[in-house]
Amino acid sequence: SQQGEEDPQALSIQEGENATMNCSYKTSINNLQWYRQNSGRGLVHLILIRSNEREKHSGRLRVTLDTSKKSSSLLITASRAADTASYFCATSRDNAGNMLTFGGGTRLMVKP
């Protein structure tokens, strides 16, 4: 079963708009990671947020984590056509933190 579940499954917006994707998980975590996957390519790590952090920024990306609600959100501001991709959240599945469980992903389309 998937630890992380993204919502929505698909999102279509215009260039310049903000995109928000949500991730819910079931068990306690050490950290949560977000990845991007362009069509036909491998995943690329975007950002890692630890369980004692509530918010983290990286360029146009903002990630929040609410451990009480077991949820995280990824906000992409001022989206560009190049942001078109699938976005996945991932949580550690072992105590050592080596292995990850990925959610089903959100497919984002940014229209020029």
Partner 1 sequence: DVKVTQSSRYLVKRTGEKVFLECVQDMDHENMFWYRQDPGLGLRLIYFSYDVKMKEKGDIPEGYSVSREKKERFSLILESASTNQTSMYLCASSRGARSFGNQPQHFGDGTRLSIL
| Residues in touch with partner 1 (CB under 8 A) | 2, 30-31, 33, 40-45, 48, 50, 88, 90, 92, 96-105
Q: Which residue, 10, 104, 24, is CA-closest to 72?
A: 24
- Closest approach of Cβ 15 to partner 1, in Å? 26
> Residue 63: what residue type?
V
Question: With respect to partner 1, which residue has the nearer C-beta, 29 or 110?
Answer: 29
Question: With respect to partner 1, which residue has the nearer C-beta, 26 or 78?
Answer: 26
Question: How many CA atoms does the CB half-sphere of 52 hold within 13 Å?
Answer: 0
- Closest approach of Cβ 14 to partner 1, in Å? 26
Separation in Å, CA 109 to CA 24, 34, 92, 102: 21, 17, 28, 20
- Closest approach of Cβ 13 to partner 1, in Å? 23
Distance CA 35, CA 69 (A): 21
Question: With respect to partner 1, which residue has the nearer C-beta, 25 or 105?
Answer: 105
